[in-house]
Amino acid sequence: MAADKTSGDKKQGGSDTGGLVIALVILTVLAGGGGWFAGAKLGLFSAVPAGRVNAADKENVAQEQPLAGNNSVIVLQPITTNLASPATTWVRLETSLVATSGEKISPELAAEISNDFLAYMRAVPFSMLKGPTGLMYLREDLLDRARVRSKGRIAHVIISGLVVEEK
């Protein structure tokens, strides 16, 4: 009689495992289908092959990119200086200026803006550069300085590199 109970338990255990495998297969298919549907709705999957882009698509891409078009980009020389506090903290800042549409920035004006950035970085304490909000405030402050110096001819300031070394 004891043998009958164990053989009955094996049959029940086998059916539970089969049901679990079937449930996992169904859930996997549903998750894959849901992921594909969400990707299609979000535009992650392109209906147009990579080599086939018509002129209308090129115009749409140019309109979506704010830095493309008639803007000119000026890459400034890297700035290396110490910060206001602590005085043993050094920073290297790499920036670029994006002029508004149709405006040209002279090398002399770019040098003056770079000098303004240098003077600003010497007055900044390290605590103001910490975290993502510190980086956002730094970019906004540099943009304000560039716009004042250029009389509104600068549209964006791009921070391409920022290295801070504490000693």
| pTM given for the model | 0.59
Q: What is the pLDDT of residue 160?
A: 94
The kind and range of the H/E element at 93 are strand 90-99
With 90 as the cut, is the pLDDT of residue 119 above it?
A: yes
With 60 as the cut, is the pLDDT of residue 95 above it?
A: yes
Determine the average pLDDT of the residues in 108-135.
93
Asked if CATH classification 1.10.3470 holds for the domain at 73-165, the reply, yes or no, is no
Of the listed ranges 12-21, 55-64, 108-117, the one predicted with least confidence: 55-64
Q: What is the pLDDT of residues 18-74, one digit of tens each?
A: 888 888 889 888 888 887 777 766 655 444 455 555 555 555 444 444 555 556 889
What is the C-alpha separation between 95 and 142, in angstroms, rounded?
Answer: 9
* Residues shown for the chain: 167
Kindly list the domain boundaries of the chain, sorted by start residue: 2-64, 73-165
E strand residue ranges, 18-123: 73-75, 79-82, 90-99
Q: What is the pLDDT of residue 63?
A: 47
Among left, alpha and beta (phi > 0; psi -120 to 50; other), residue 11 is alpha
